Structure 1
């Protein structure tokens, strides 16, 4: 292995402060249940995240799930940020800045109920991939689940050479003294000039220009880690299946509930063709060709335990679901690889109304079916999966688990809201209901602080928020126009505060965020 501590990883630019719901153990267990698999669930569970970035997701999940967490990210600045947040809310999570090799060498780690790695596999060396597999072999419990996301073929085939251009320019043509953003921009400009010179490669992949323009508009922290690492190992789905076989891991399910809705993903011809493939791994790989898959989110299980039809149905009926937004904000269309589809009002409106009843309190699938007796079990289940895929609904953990984590979610959320006084980085709070994160903007977090201080009127929340951001010399961007006067900014904040009071608060209360 390389003697350089970063091993070719682009360390000059920190990762984003985003949140990933796929790493939520509650969400993972639901995705397994959807495909008929049992999953471990315990109040004393141990979970692990490999490569936690800035630590937003691992802190959210450590607060919102019973049990304990271990994680590592070998960038010291990111590990320090994650650890600082964990310390602020009193977490017992063990967060390291160890490499995978160093983590594997530890002799004080438990057996884990789940191991997750999001956006790691493709961007590390083959040696590190082997260490990840060995870590899972040693430390994942029988029955435990592993979540992994990665770039894949065939979808990446046309764009892979473009990504290689970026990395090579950064390695060989950039000035080492240049700032990270300057090096990234230089590589993008070089690639744009190369495509403009009309090489045969560009003729063979005619959409590259649009792809490059899209990349130019993305967050530079994301671009740095997606495109500028020296290691980039894009695989087929079956390559990853083979890689994890020595750890006794079996592919079980996708972590994308929308994938279970075939009409959104496949043509009629595609569905007929795949139906004729008996082997599940071959069928899954062939499916990637039909949807031109470029990024996978997969769940593996160590010792897959399939539920009987009766067990599966009973577990689904007992699962609770909750709305993540007011029903008037739910889009009326959904998009998949097969195109855009409209949500049928006669199906979705009654289900949304049932979910919104009793102040948006969570409902079991059994309760929802009772509320819409004209619909079949299959119709309600499929509609829920579409809404989950749209981030409009989330599966919930048990009420017992919710009670165990309520206090620590409140403590973490207070710390996150306090950070919004100074920065716009983390725009998510933790929910003990879902075991995961809920999008809450900086302004909304400032409104919540105002509420905590006893301010009852939206106009007071708006003034409080303006006192903070205006005092820091900042302002609001409305559309493409920057609001320049205090009156304009306060008016916009007042409008947002009214919307927050009338719409968002009922949802946040149902999610036990406030």
Structure 2
């Protein structure tokens, strides 16, 4: 049952154990450099996450980045989970269950190099939005960066009333003693019945039925927090820009590398139209209409300083990059709002080969440029940006930073792998190379445990994994069908272990996770 302390936020169901790369300072600095902005990079700096959920991202970033972390999430159960995980790896991160008002009242906080909030802004009250801005005004350093993500118009315009139906049904038509999952299902069924009765609203937004079906198939923890909070303040991009001005924050760019590739996002007609808009804020708002933007991931800077073209080029050439997948698993297509595009073989082939050289060790852009001499500099920068945007590559931090955090990552990853002995909640591990999280499934984490125990044969890794899964009464699925016998499960795990040994393991070794 919800209590007064939750201020209308849906706290009856815990949030997912997801990881967000956009909160990684290494990723944020790359996005800003890509658009020509100077950033702070301080080995002793402080970073803050507001509303850290179950604490997966903040723990990974606290382990994988130099510096210090502070964060809060006012849901006590989530804060307790985050704090317990931090304690497991002896983290010095300061994690609280303060509300934004309580955090703002603290007199023991440092100036921050970065402040991040992912999936928070839209789902809190206007008063809390003001507290967030005031927190940034007081505590973000000059030159510091703020990351904020939020639902936005015009993309949400057709379905905002549907979301309101869910929340209202939960508030007025459900019994508070009913379980959260049943209340969510009841609200979805009510909304489905309403649309089936052919209101004029349904005729005006014909895609609602398909959207509702999609929502019905989503994780209930995600659905609860996305659609069932009392507060839901969807905004236009310019509304958020205006809100941030009192904290002296300048909009810089999105934390979406694919946004830099215009043909993936816009038609030729759209590009021509936007070219004619001089003011950058007006141009960015107009762009949202062309892509029908419904969710933004934005980076602001307190005192944005532009780099010269020479400074930006130098910064990019010194930056390191690494693949997160072996090249045979990287798709040959990329998708953006304007549709699909093929990865041009004469550019991406040499770039991928260069990134894969020397057992997938990270490469600077300068090293890549020397290895793919026939590829023009601008094409190389775009190719790397596209690969990062696709999630198959990542920017890396310096080798000095990597060495500084290696032991922290080792300790955290061991604790996460131990948790995989009992559940599949957290399927990501920390890389000292990227400063962030890398997807690693529960079975792969169990294979890593076997490796640490000195087992070298994938069959033995599979046997260890099956001993864990089988003892807990679980079985694997192949397609949609459960595997019913121990022999079938062990055969499937052996196949997965062999594939892990031949592909994923080399990536995890290059990223210094294995």
TM range (shorter): over 0.9
Task: Encode CA deviations 1:16-38: one digit per residue, 9 max, x unaligned.
Answer: 00000000000000000000001
Distance 1:294 1:340 in 2: 19
Distance 1:312 1:448 in 2: 39
Task: Encode CA deviations 1:58-96: one digit per residue, 9 max, x unaligned.
Answer: 000000000000000000000000000000000000000
Within 5 Å, which residues of 2 pair with 1:241-252? 241-252=241-252
Distance 1:25 1:269 in 2: 35
Change in CA separation of 1:362 and 1:485 when aligned onto 2, cut-off 3 Å = same
Distance 1:232 1:243 in 2: 16
Aligned position for 1:315: 315
Aligned position for 1:501: 501
Distance 2:474 2:242 in 1: 52
Instruction: Tell me, yes or no, if structure 1 residue 483 matches structure 2 residue 496.
Output: no
Aligned position for 2:324: 324
Aligned position for 2:297: 297
Distance 1:286 1:3 in 2: 41
Distance 1:447 1:364 in 2: 31
**Deviation, structure 1 residue 342:** 1.1
Distance 2:407 2:10 in 1: 38
| Number of aligned residues | 513
Distance 2:175 2:101 in 1: 31
Distance 1:197 1:259 in 2: 40
Aligned position for 1:236: 236
Aligned position for 1:415: 415
Secondary structure of the 2:4 match is coil
Task: Encode CA deviations 1:116-142: one digit per residue, 9 max, x unaligned.
Answer: 000000000000000000000000000
**Deviation, structure 1 residue 446:** 0.2
**Deviation, structure 1 residue 176:** 1.3
Aligned position for 2:393: 393
Aligned position for 2:205: 205
**Deviation, structure 1 residue 478:** 1.3
Secondary structure of the 1:475 match is coil
Aligned position for 1:214: 214
Instruction: Tell me, yes or no, if structure 1 residue 424 matches structure 2 residue 424.
Output: yes
Secondary structure of the 1:145 match is strand
Aligned position for 1:141: 141
Task: Encode CA deviations 1:148-169: one digit per residue, 9 max, x unaligned.
Answer: 0000000000000000000000
Distance 1:456 1:308 in 2: 51
Secondary structure of the 1:147 match is strand
Distance 1:66 1:176 in 2: 45
Secondary structure of the 1:171 match is helix
Aligned position for 1:465: 465
Aligned position for 1:32: 32
Distance 1:147 1:215 in 2: 27
Segments of 4+ moved more than 2 angstroms: none
**Deviation, structure 1 residue 485:** 0.4
Aligned position for 1:164: 164
Distance 2:140 2:441 in 1: 36
Report the aligned-residue RMSD: 0.8
Structure 2 unaligned regions, length at least 5: none
Distance 2:177 2:59 in 1: 35
Distance 2:478 2:143 in 1: 50
**Deviation, structure 1 residue 3:** 9.2
Distance 2:500 2:18 in 1: 22
**Deviation, structure 1 residue 482:** 0.5
Aligned position for 1:510: 510
Within 5 Å, which residues of 2 pair with 1:49-60? 49-60=49-60
**Deviation, structure 1 residue 177:** 1.1
Distance 1:297 1:407 in 2: 31
Within 5 Å, which residues of 2 pair with 1:12-411? 12-411=12-411
**Deviation, structure 1 residue 346:** 1.3
Distance 2:368 2:49 in 1: 34
Distance 1:335 1:197 in 2: 36
Distance 2:35 2:347 in 1: 23
Distance 1:18 1:246 in 2: 32
Distance 1:216 1:342 in 2: 32
Secondary structure of the 2:141 match is strand
TM-score, length of structure 2 as denominator length: 0.99
Secondary structure of the 1:422 match is coil
Distance 2:479 2:14 in 1: 28
**Deviation, structure 1 residue 4:** 1.8
Distance 2:305 2:420 in 1: 44
Aligned position for 1:4: 4
**Deviation, structure 1 residue 185:** 0.2
TM-score, length of structure 1 as denominator length: 0.99
Distance 2:207 2:47 in 1: 41
Structure 1 unaligned regions, length at least 5: none
